[in-house]
Structure 1
Amino acid sequence: MSQSTTRASRAPADWMDRDNDRNRAFRPDLPRVAPDRNIQLMRLRREQMERRLAALRASGRVPRIALYARTVNGQTPARSLTAARGFAESRAWQVGREQEFTDCLSLSTAEDRLGWLQMKQRIASGFIDGIVAITRPDVSPQLSEYEHELDWLAWHGGFVALVHPENVVPQ
């Protein structure tokens, strides 16, 4: 997969970006299509994750991960947590004991979810490096809140990995 994952860089990432820059400069009359917000956030998440993983590899440390899933009617999301654990283990990431967090699906904002807040606290404290969730809506169904959470995690040295990336719709 060779695609650009840089965010708002001054230097164009590839020939298409350079061509688009020239068209913007010399052909202002052409209609412009705004980039899809979902794709922008997918790139942001992947860039932040790759940057943090590279830093961890450079220091010789294995990423320490927490698993996160949303529940319905208080049921234990065993299948979701198993999928998240399998994802983390397939990448040789360390999932510590008692590093599974769940929140009720009805709690829509991240600030209302105790499990999510506990993981953020552990990232800020340096106990974990990242979070594995199943899908983007598990982090937040609202794009602006999702971006806010990604930025907060990156600012505090964390990242989010998704079992089903933003560009894949689970069936």
Structure 2
Amino acid sequence: MSQSNTRHTPGSTDWMDSDNGSRRRYSRTGLSSSVSPNLRLQRLRSGLNQEVFAHVSRVRPTRRVTLYARTQPGQDPEPLFAGLRAEAALHGWQVGQEIFDDGGHQVPQQSSEWLRVRKLCHEGLADGVLVRDRMQISADDFLYENEIRFLHARQCFTALQIPEAAP
């Protein structure tokens, strides 16, 4: 008769009990976490920005930022820009251009003014973009994440005056 290679340990070793004892939840896309989407996006943006800020340019030691504001048609963007200018000054960033879009909330790729921001970053004329909050870029999580990843791929940062996870 052969010997068993199984070791017996004290206590419950039932694999179903140990798996079911955790508080993991599964969704269509796999394992989900209890982190809110806004907090996840804030952590992602912060991590991407840290990589960009770690690089110090010899050509332009002061970071040049583009201010972007999205307003409703007929709304004056100046109050938004005043707050953004103050935020840029707090960080020691040079304001390159101020771009506003009065088309209301729309998909970023359908906004000619947002496409100008992307072009400035792509061509190296801006080191990043500063907006009031994430809704200035997109209310849609997927589209917002695509935009911050696009900017990061061009070694540009995305700064928010009001972080994603702010109450």
TM-score (norm 2): 0.78
Q: 1:163 aligns with which of 149, 156, 161?
A: 161
Question: What residue is the counterpart of 1:94 in the other structure?
Answer: 94
Identical amino acids, percent of aligned pairs: 29
RMSD: 2.0
How many Å separate the matches in 1 of 2:114 and 2:163?
Answer: 19
Task: Tell me: CA distance 1:59–1:28, structure 2 relative to 1, closer, same or farther (3 Å).
Answer: farther
User: Shift of the alpha carbon at 1:104?
Assistant: 2.3
Given residue 127 of structure 2, which amino acid in structure 1 is its aligned partner?
D
How many Å separate the matches in 1 of 2:125 and 2:119?
Answer: 9
Question: Contact conserved, 1:130 with 1:159, CA < 8 A, in 2?
Answer: yes
How many Å separate the matches in 2 of 1:157 and 1:57?
Answer: 11
Structure 2 residue matching 1:74: 3-state secondary structure: coil
Question: What residue is the counterpart of 1:135 in the other structure?
Answer: 133
Question: What residue is the counterpart of 2:81 in the other structure?
Answer: 81
TM-score (norm 1): 0.76
More helix by share: 1
Question: What residue is the counterpart of 1:32 in the other structure?
Answer: 24
Of residues 58-67 and 120-129 in structure 1, the stretch that sits farther from structure 2 once superposed is 58-67
Task: Tell me: CA distance 1:107–1:37, structure 2 relative to 1, closer, same or farther (3 Å).
Answer: closer
How many Å separate the matches in 2 of 1:164 and 1:86?
Answer: 13
- Structure 1 stretches (4+) deviating beyond 4 angstroms? 57-60
Task: Tell me: CA distance 1:105–1:43, structure 2 relative to 1, closer, same or farther (3 Å).
Answer: farther
Question: Contact conserved, 1:65 with 1:131, CA < 8 A, in 2?
Answer: yes
Task: Tell me: CA distance 1:31–1:155, structure 2 relative to 1, closer, same or farther (3 Å).
Answer: same
User: Shift of the alpha carbon at 1:157?
Assistant: 1.3
How many residues are treated as equivalent by the alignment? 142
Question: Contact conserved, 1:45 with 1:160, CA < 8 A, in 2?
Answer: yes
